[in-house]
Every structure is written in structure tokens, then in C-alpha cells.
Structure 1
């Protein structure tokens, strides 16, 4: 570090604060980006699991559209007003325990429960999506 650089810093505390604020903001942006990347990875992992469980392209597409609208593919998504939980927003979330005790954390368990629900209530994910489009819920 040069002496003139140190003098400039000492002479201009405003510059120091501005530089520190920019550095802090930059650091904050980097830290904020990490969870978004993790969520994106989690979503793509859940989508891959669902694709294996739902090989039919049309049924997968319908299931995917519902999940995208309901939770954005976030297996820990919680609706603060209703308490609905998970990828498929089961209400209450504990219903998904029928598919496995790891329902709170395992996307595969949530997908299995959601797929079973869509098939038993509507006949298929495509029929559930048709209902969702007409009513904004399923």
C-alpha cells in the first residue's frame, strides 16, 4: 500500500464509508445468491425424481405445472395462512405421512403422495391440472 493511498483514505472518511458500503453490499449479494442457487438445485433434483416416477410426458407436464404453481418445486414450502406444506401443498402436510415418515424432507415421498392424491381424486395429474386451471386450486 502506498503512502498516498493511506493519506487519501485518512483525508476522506466519506470515501472510506462509501467503499466499505460497496464492499458490504457486494458481499451481501454474494451471500444472498447462495440460497437461491441451493433452491434451484433442490428444485431440479425434485423435478428429476418426479420425472422418474411419472414417465408419461403429458402427465409429468401436468404434475409439474401444478407443483410449480403450488410450491415452485420447494419441498419445504409452507403456506403461512393455511399451513399447507410441501411440493404439492398438502393440507395438513402431515397427510403425506401416509407415503412415508420422511414426508417433511423427502421430495420423493411428497411426489408419491401428491401423485397418489391426484390419481385418486381426479384420475390423473392431467385431470388435476384441468381442475386447477378452472379453479386455481386442486
Structure 2
């Protein structure tokens, strides 16, 4: 408890008492000097000099003030905490919405690519759709490939064939045994696509396309791997 506030209360209380006493004293013919002495004494009063009932009032007022200040501080702290919690919750919600939107966008794009690829594959011709010939030029072989390979995948397929065989369906690697347009190793692997794998570029293209799809997801996936490793 502040001594200043106590002294102020004491002075006020003592002054009130002194004022009453002064009036009584004047009426009774008392000396005016006693009034000044009483006020001086009141100015130096402490809580111990204040009557018990008035001490209780001073203490109660001080405790009430302290309680109000603590309540105000507690309210401010609670408000700050609530605001911080709300800010964090809003940030978390925004992040979750962003992640969900990005995931949905990626899934939609992947689905569209798969549908487009499936449509291209379904429209592509099979090796059996082509009339077998005794020999094929590079231009004829490329024309067959264009009809068998999905449009957006043809260039990647072509890039690999350019590097592996230069579009020569009878290209053979004497040291490794690799054979054909896509240089299957060994060449006999291509028999799974047809018994004429040695002489029919359509059969080789069919096998090569299946291999690239199964192992790399697509000819472009195979081409990406080839660029990084110089083989596929």
C-alpha cells in the first residue's frame, strides 16, 4: 500500500475531524492555535494513526484497485492469446486449403493425361493391321510407326530409334546381339510380339512400344532415361 495514498486519506480524514473540532472549539471559546496544530498533526499521520474503521476502508480500496488492475491485465493477456490462436488457426486452414487445391489440380491433370494417352493408344493401329512386305524403306517404316505410336509420344520414340538403329529394322550389333529398330537385347525377345520379328518393322515397333510403356510409362519416359544414361 502506498504511503502517499494513506497519508492523503489520513489528512482528509483528520481534516474533516479537525474542522468539526474547530467549530466546536470556536463555539466554546477555544484557542484558534489548536486548530493549526491538529492539521499539522494530521499531515504527518500514517495508517497507524487512522482509526481502525477507516484503516479497513483504506485497505479495502487498495485491494479493490489491485484486483481491478490484475483483472485488466488478465483480460489483456487472454485477448492476446485468443487472437494468436485465431491467427494460427486461420493460417493452418489456409495452408490445408492450398494443399488440397494443389492436390486436386495435380490429380485432375494426371487423369486428363491418362485419358488422352488411353485415347491415343486405342486409336493407334496394331502390327497386324499392316500388309507384310519383303522389305521396307526408312520412310515406310516411319510411316508405320506414326500410325502405331500415340501422336504426342512419336517424337520421343523416334529419337530413341534414331540413336539405336537409324530406322534400320535389320540393324544388328555383332558384339552384343542387339537387333532391330529398338535394338532389343537379345533380339529374340521381340518374338513375344510376333514370329516375324526379324523381318517386319511393325512387329518390332509393337514390341518396342510395349517395352517402353511397361518399363518407363511411355516412350517419352524412356527417352528421358536414355538422355540421362545413353541407354534404356
TM-score using structure 1 length: 0.69
> Counterpart in 2 of 1:70?
164
Q: Does 1:134 align with 2:228?
A: yes
2:189 is the alignment partner of 1:89:
no
Give the aligned CA root-mean-square deviation in angstroms: 1.3
Q: Structure 1 stretches (4+) deviating beyond 4 angstroms? A: none
* Whole-Å separation in 2 of the counterparts to 1:106 and 1:67: 15
Match of 1:47 in 2: 142
Match runs of 1:9-24 below 5 Å: none
Aligned to 1:110: 204
In 2, the alpha carbon distance for the partners of 1:79 and 1:115 equals 20
Report the CA distance between 1:55 and its aligned residue: 3.3
Match of 1:101 in 2: 195
Give the aligned partner of residue 19 of structure 2.
none
Structure of greater relative contact order (alpha carbons < 8 Å, 6+ residues apart): 1
In the TM superposition, residue 44 of structure 1 has moved relative to its aligned partner by 1.0
Which 5+ residue runs of structure 1 have no aligned equivalent?
1-38
Deviation at 1:110, TM superposition (A): 0.1
Instruction: Give the Cα–Cα distance (whole angstroms) in 2 for the partners of residues 98 and 107 of structure 1.
Output: 14
Q: Distance in 2 between matches of 1:55 and 1:84?
A: 25
Shift of 1:135: 0.2
3-state DSSP of counterpart to 1:90: coil
